[in-house]
Chains A and B, each alone.
Chain A
Amino acid sequence: MDLSAINPVILVASLMVASTPILLAAIGELVVEKSGVLNLGVEGMMITGAICGFAIAVETGSPTLGFIAAALGGALLSLIFGVLTQVLLSNQVATGLALTLFGLGISALLGQGYIGIKPPATPRIDLGPLSDLPVVGRILFSHDLMVYVSLALVAGVWAFLRYTRGGLILRAVGESHDAAHALGYKVILIRLAAIAFGGACAGLGGAYLSLVRVPQWTEGMTAGAGWIALAIVVFAGWRAWGVLLGAYLFGGVTVLQLNLQAAGMAIPVEVLSMSPYLITILVLVIMSADRRRAAMGAPASLGRVFHASS
């Protein structure tokens, strides 16, 4: 065993990169669920975002355009779900699962011509002297733009839900759509907007995988990341900072266990392999152990069908 081979600074920096796709998808899903909609199609929206972003980045040579396309692609796909569940009142669970299957299929179709191609590199942001600071520079100031965007999104969602009138309305819709409707808020429109936001975030998360983290296109490359994002929203008690903690924990333990294995740590590999799932769930459950607060987190109308006449 040679633990000195693990450089903690590089470890933290790579855990931030490893966690970003899940974080982006989870923060989007948080907003969707706060509006009272359960969209199980995160995996499908992520993989669609992954191929949309990849294809556009390759065609135009610009990763930025790729990310924009990924957000649009994810949002577009999520709106199919939105129209089906909000306007046509289909079952949210079944429609969400169908969306995942659809997303996996259509991404494989779109991706036919993109297997084995390398995307244009996403540059790291040059923050000048800040990046040269010891330790902190490598951890905080030498990432690509999307890492900062994901962190800004978490802060933005937190502030929006907590301090703004819009956030209050969104939460009201999620808690009691009938009351919100009676007050004159457009429940369906608000939910459609939330769903589109969730889809855009999931799309960004997928594109981060295909453009930065892996970077290449392979069918089924999200390999379950969307489901992890869904679980993290629940275990984080529908709180934005909880989602950040959950995603970084999951990504962090995943990276750490691979590093420990590479360093020849004398812990059984089976234990190391399941540790990301176990530790993330454990920590988040302990954090939301206060039952009253946890109960407040779950939107009361989550997954319920809304129709103005009922």
Chain B
Amino acid sequence: MSVKSILGTAALAVGLASAATAQDDPLKVGFIYVGPIGDGGWTYEHNEGRLAVEEHFGDQVETVYQESVPEGADAERAITQMALQGADLIFTTSFGYMDPTINVAQKFPDVKFEHATGYKRADNVSTYSARFYEGRAVQGYIAGQMTETNKIGYIGSFPIPEVIRGINSAYLAAKEVNPDVEFNVVWAYTWFDPAKEADAAQALIEQGADVILQHTDSTAPQAAAEKAGDVYTFGQASDMAEYKPAPRISSIIDNWAPYYIDRVQAVMDGTWESTDTWGGIGTGMVGIGEITDAVPADVKEGALALKERIGSGEYHPFTGPINRQDGSQWLAEGETATDETLLGMDFYVEGLEGEIPN
């Protein structure tokens, strides 16, 4: 970008700010994505949310987005640029954008920011996330009964609370229905790298895992499972329906559209406030994709009943008694986990093997 156009956009931003966004201007909503929108998973669903905003508000909004923004220093540049281009509301849709979002928000007090899956807020920064662990419990319930080798492979991305929560939740649910079940966790240290995800799935399958859960964004593990045959997988973030009816036997679907529409409406009405939203199956932010016929009917029924109970709030996936990995007590009989401990979860529950990297 030339100096001239930088000055141009800066002047435009100043102009917009001083004009205090005249009423007939469309609201400019920006999105920062961690992967390409064609990843078929995480970023794909966020983009579906963006499209829903466009459809809902029509001419009243203008949306911009940037794909494949690396987590780290470069994210700050990308977010700053979006704010300079006059965005009024910016959604930063990955955990690693947390500090960059806070930093940029300080420099643009008039711009509203929404950071997904983080825990740092400010007057103009909200956070939002979905209770993926509720969906993980349903997955674990199915996985525990589908495995014949009693080995379940789990492809983790980064050792952050969100991912650890998912592993614990899936494990507890699987253990409940199959006491012999074992989890093998592989950390890929990436959200999106199809080749590496395929290799990780391959390694797990070669070591005897016959059900693969993933917390990475591409459909590569599904393809690897299909090639191996007799291996079951679950769609992650998106339905990944092209791998139905097997290896993909169900999925967790993130549905961001209602939240995005709400928040854009709030900015338009001037009622936007910094909030912390954590929606689950009950609010529809987490959906369970179709459970295919590869799953026996009684298991499917049980999974749907579990989903129902979680959605209605009758059952919490982390209900005591639960011990930590080292054997110390975490939750007493009948006690449920608080959101606070869940948000900072950095330990495995009893029965899981291996260590969480720092």
Chain B residues near A182 (CB, 8 Å)? none
B198 touches A214 (CB 8 A): yes
B199 touches A18 (CB 8 A): yes
The contact string, 1 if C-beta is below 8 Å from chain B, for chain A 226-254, is 00000000000000000000000000001
Chain B residues near A21 (CB, 8 Å)? 195
Q: A18-B199, A254-B196, A269-B357 are in contact. Are A262 and B187 (CB under 8 A)?
A: no
Task: Provide the bound-state CA to CA distance between A108 and B68, in Å.
Answer: 12
B205: min CB distance to chain A, Å: 9
| Interface residue? B9 (CB, 8 A) | no
B227 touches A254 (CB 8 A): no
* CB < 8 Å A-B pair total: 114
Q: A10-B206, A254-B199, A255-B203 are in contact. Are A214 and B194 (CB under 8 A)?
A: yes
B203 touches A262 (CB 8 A): yes
| Interface residue? B282 (CB, 8 A) | no
B195 touches A225 (CB 8 A): yes
Q: Contact check: which of A5, A116, A222, A223 meets B207 at CB < 8 Å?
A: A5
* Residue on B nearest A271 in the bound complex, by CB: B357
Q: Contact check: which of A5, A116, A218, A258 meets B220 at CB < 8 Å?
A: A218
* Residue on A nearest B357 in the bound complex, by CB: A269
Scoring B159, B208, B209, B218 by chain A CB atoms within 10 A of each residue's CB, the highest score goes to B218
Q: Contact check: which of A10, A111, A223 meets B195 at CB < 8 Å?
A: A223
* Residue on B nearest A217 in the bound complex, by CB: B38
Chain A residues near B357 (CB, 8 Å)? 268-270
Task: Provide the bound-state CA to CA distance between A99 and B357, in Å.
Answer: 38
B66: min CB distance to chain A, Å: 13
A115 touches B40 (CB 8 A): yes
Chain A residues near B355 (CB, 8 Å)? 266, 268
Q: Which of B188-225 contact A (CB under 8 A)?
A: 188-190, 192-196, 198-200, 202-204, 206-209, 218-220, 223-224
A223 touches B194 (CB 8 A): yes
A258 touches B186 (CB 8 A): yes
| Interface residue? B358 (CB, 8 A) | yes
Chain B residues near A219 (CB, 8 Å)? 36-39
* Residue on B nearest A119 in the bound complex, by CB: B223
* Residue on A nearest B204 in the bound complex, by CB: A262
Task: Provide the bound-state CA to CA distance between A6 and B353, in Å.
Answer: 17
| Interface residue? B15 (CB, 8 A) | no
A220 touches B68 (CB 8 A): yes
A214 touches B223 (CB 8 A): yes
Interface residues on A, range: 35 or more
* Residue on B nearest A273 in the bound complex, by CB: B189
Chain A residues near B218 (CB, 8 Å)? 218, 221
B40 touches A218 (CB 8 A): yes
A206: min CB distance to chain B, Å: 11
Chain B residues near A5 (CB, 8 Å)? 207-208
Interface residues on B, range: 35 or more
Chain B residues near A11 (CB, 8 Å)? 206
Q: A214-B198, A264-B184 are in contact. Are A108 and B38 (CB under 8 A)?
A: yes
| Interface residue? B153 (CB, 8 A) | yes
Q: Contact check: which of B159, B202, B220 meets A216 at CB < 8 Å?
A: B220
A108 touches B186 (CB 8 A): no
The contact string, 1 if C-beta is below 8 Å from chain A, for chain B 30-43, is 00000111111000
| Interface residue? B354 (CB, 8 A) | yes
| Interface residue? A263 (CB, 8 A) | yes
| Interface residue? A261 (CB, 8 A) | yes
Task: Provide the bound-state CA to CA distance between A118 and B200, in Å.
Answer: 20
Q: A220-B35, A264-B353 are in contact. Are A259 and B206 (CB under 8 A)?
A: yes
Task: Provide the bound-state CA to CA distance between A218 and B37, in Å.
Answer: 10
Q: Contact check: which of B37, B153, B184, B187 meets A269 at CB < 8 Å?
A: B187
Task: Provide the bound-state CA to CA distance between A215 and B202, in Å.
Answer: 12
Chain A residues near B308 (CB, 8 Å)? none
Q: Contact check: which of A215, A225, A261 meets B186 at CB < 8 Å?
A: A261
Chain B residues near A6 (CB, 8 Å)? 206-207
Q: Which of B167-195 contact A (CB under 8 A)?
A: 184-190, 192-195
| Interface residue? A117 (CB, 8 A) | yes
* Residue on A nearest B186 in the bound complex, by CB: A261
| Interface residue? A209 (CB, 8 A) | yes
Q: Which of A1-54 contact B (CB under 8 A)?
A: 5-7, 10-11, 14, 18, 21
Q: A117-B242, A263-B207 provided; 12 other pairs, C-beta below 8 A?
A: A6-B207, A7-B206, A10-B206, A14-B206, A111-B38, A115-B38, A214-B223, A218-B218, A223-B194, A258-B188, A264-B184, A269-B159
Q: Please, could you name 25 A-B residue pairs with CB atoms under 8 Å apart, sorted by A? A: A5-B207, A6-B207, A7-B206, A10-B206, A18-B195, A108-B36, A116-B219, A118-B242, A209-B194, A213-B198, A214-B220, A218-B38, A223-B190, A223-B193, A224-B193, A225-B195, A254-B196, A258-B200, A261-B186, A262-B184, A262-B207, A262-B209, A268-B357, A269-B159, A273-B187
Using a CB–CB cutoff of 8 Å, the interface residues on chain A facing chain B are 5-7, 10-11, 14, 18, 21, 108, 111-112, 115-118, 209, 213-216, 218-225, 254-255, 258-259, 261-264, 266, 268-270, 273
Nearest 3 CB-CB pairings of A with B = A219-B36, A269-B357, A258-B203
